[in-house]
Amino acid sequence: MAQPSATYLVVESAGQDHGRRIDLVGNRLTIGRLPTCDVRFDDLQVSRTHATVWRRGDADYVEDLGSSGGTYVNNVVITGPRELRAGDTVAFAGLRLRYSADGSEDPRPRQESQQVRYDIREQRADEINNVGRDQFNYSQHIVQQRESFFREIAATKTKARWLVWTGVALFVIGLGIAYVGGFNYLQWFADVWSSSTASSTAPELDFSGLLIAAVGGLINTVGVLLVIIGIVLHIVATSRRKRVNRDFPPPPPQYRRH
pLDDT tens readout for residues 228-258: 999 999 998 888 888 777 766 665 544 445 4
Cβ contacts of 148 within 8 Å, gap of 6 or more: 68
Q: pLDDT grade, residue 53 (50/70/90)?
A: very high
Q: Which residues contact 257 (CB under 8 A, 6 or more apart)?
A: 140, 143
**132, part of any domain:** no
pLDDT the model gives residue 4: 52
Pick the closest to residue 3 from 85, 93, 102 (CA basis): 102
Residue 181 and residue 83 share a domain = no
pLDDT at 121: 46
161 is in which domain, residue-wise?
140-198+205-247
Q: What is the mean pLDDT of residues 143-151?
A: 75
Percent above pLDDT 70 for the chain = 69
If asked whether residues 153 and 90 sit together in one domain, one would say no
Asked if the structure places residue 116 within a domain, the reply is no
- The answer to whether position 111 is within a domain reads no
User: 3-class DSSP state for residue 157?
Assistant: helix
Identify the weakest region by mean pLDDT among 11-15, 195-199, 205-209, 215-219. 195-199
Q: Are residues 94 and 165 in the same domain?
A: no
Burial class (CB in 10 A: 0-12, 13-18, 19+), 71: buried
Residues 188, 91 within the same domain: no
3-class DSSP state for residue 34?
coil
In a domain, 37, yes or no: yes
**Which of 76, 101, 126 is the endpoint of a domain?**
101
pLDDT tens column, 3-18? 555 889 999 988 888 8
Which phi and psi angles does 168 have, rounded to 5°?
-65, -45
What pLDDT band is residue 39 in, cutting at 50, 70 and 90? very high
| Average predicted confidence (pLDDT) for the chain | 77
Please give the pLDDT value at position 124.
47
Whether residue 19 is found in the same domain as residue 90? yes
Q: What's residue 198's pLDDT?
A: 57
- Backbone φ, ψ for residue 153 (5° rounding): -65, -40
Residues 243 and 154 in one domain: yes
Assess whether 230 and 181 both reside in one domain: yes
Q: What pLDDT sits at residue 66?
A: 87
Q: CA 165, CA 223: separation in Å to the nearest integer?
A: 9
Q: Looking at residues 157-175, what average pLDDT do you find?
A: 91
| pLDDT for residue 192 | 65
3-state helix, strand, coil in the chain (%, to 5): 40, 20, 40
Higher pLDDT, 256 or 195: 195
Interval 87-146: pLDDT, tens: 999 999 878 999 998 655 544 444 444 444 444 444 444 444 444 444 555 566 666 777
As a whole number of angstroms, the distance between CA 160 and CA 223 comes to 13
Residue 78 exposure: Cα atoms within 13 Å on the Cβ side:
23
Burial 226-253 (b: 16+ CB within 10 A, else e): bbeebeebbeebeebbebbeebbeebee
Kindly state whether residue 154 falls inside one of the protein's structural domains: yes
- The whole-angstrom separation of Cα 143 and Cα 114 is 20
**Nearest to residue 250, comparing CAs of 127, 94, 123, 128?**
94
pTM, to two decimals: 0.43
Provide the domain count of the chain. 2
- Same domain? For 144 and 240 the reply is yes
Give the separation between CA 63 and CA 145, rounded to whole angstroms.
Answer: 19
Structural domain contains residue 219: yes
Instruction: Assess whether 230 and 183 both reside in one domain.
Output: yes
Q: What is the pLDDT of residue 184?
A: 77
Q: Judge contact between 64 and 79, C-beta under 8 A.
A: yes
Q: Are strands 28-32 and 39-40 parallel, antiparallel or unpaired?
A: parallel
